[in-house]
Amino acid sequence: MSAQQLADFPYSGVSVSGKLYRGKLIKDYYLLYKISYDSIEILFIWDTRKDPADLLNLVKNFSK
Task: Check: CB of residue 22 under 8 Å from CB of residue 11.
Answer: yes
- Average pLDDT (12-32) is 85
Q: For 25-46, what is the mean pLDDT?
A: 88
What global pTM score does this model have?
A: 0.75
Q: Count the domains in the chain.
A: 1
Instruction: Provide the 10 A C-beta neighbour count for residue 8.
Output: 9
Q: Is the pLDDT of residue 64 over 60?
A: no
pLDDT at 56: 77
What range defines the domain where residue 40 resides?
3-62
